[in-house]
Amino acid sequence: MKKFFFSIEAIMTVLNECYGMKGSQETGGIFIGPSAEDNIITHAIPSSIYAERGFATYYQSDEDVKILNKKIKQFFTKGEDFKGYWHKHPSGIIELSNGDINTCFGILNNPAYKINNNLLMTVISEGRGNMPLHSYLVSLRNDGIDIEDVSMVILPQSCIRSIWLNPTTTIKKG
């Protein structure tokens, strides 16, 4: 199981967006992390008001994607880039839905995304007790896609930055 380091600030952004939504609507956004590290998440950016949200659907409209892309560009100069998506399942389902899997397949097959065959997908489930966050690493294989559970380590951004900037830190990244 691959280990991912998430900043507590990113997780708080996700939880505030998901649990701050009125009613039982899906919502979501993107994760940002260091370009050189595939398992570090420093920021979460919620979708804009232009995302389509419903009880069992969430998708990023063209206008929402434009806004998110502008925000991603602000991180390029800091050596950070797009790492994946997060979204809420109000129904309490913790697995990726068929729609989620199809979205992953489309992204991983689209050269415009320029990602390295690894896409992080995090689901926030409502009403399940326990930890409401469930992360998966999705990658292409010859006959479809591979979905692997991800172990989540949540730390303050300052600790994550020292792991990122100092590879000799005693916390194991792998």
Q: Structural domains in the chain?
A: 2-165 (3.40.140.10)
pTM of the model: 0.83
State residue 50's pLDDT score: 57
Would you give the DSSP letter of residue 54? -
d(CA 43, CA 5): 11
**What are the average pLDDT values for consecutive 10-residue runs of the chain, which has 174 residues?**
93 86 74 91 83 62 78 89 86 84 85 79 74 87 88 90 64 50
C-alpha pair distances (Å), 44 with each of 7, 13, 54, 103, 143: 9, 6, 21, 19, 31
Euclidean distance between CA atoms 43 and 8, whole angstroms: 9
Cβ pair 12, 43 in contact under 8 A: no
- Between CA 153 and CA 149 the distance in angstroms is 13
> Given this model, what pLDDT does residue 91 score?
73
pLDDT of amino acid 58:
67
Q: For residue 146, what pLDDT is reported?
A: 93
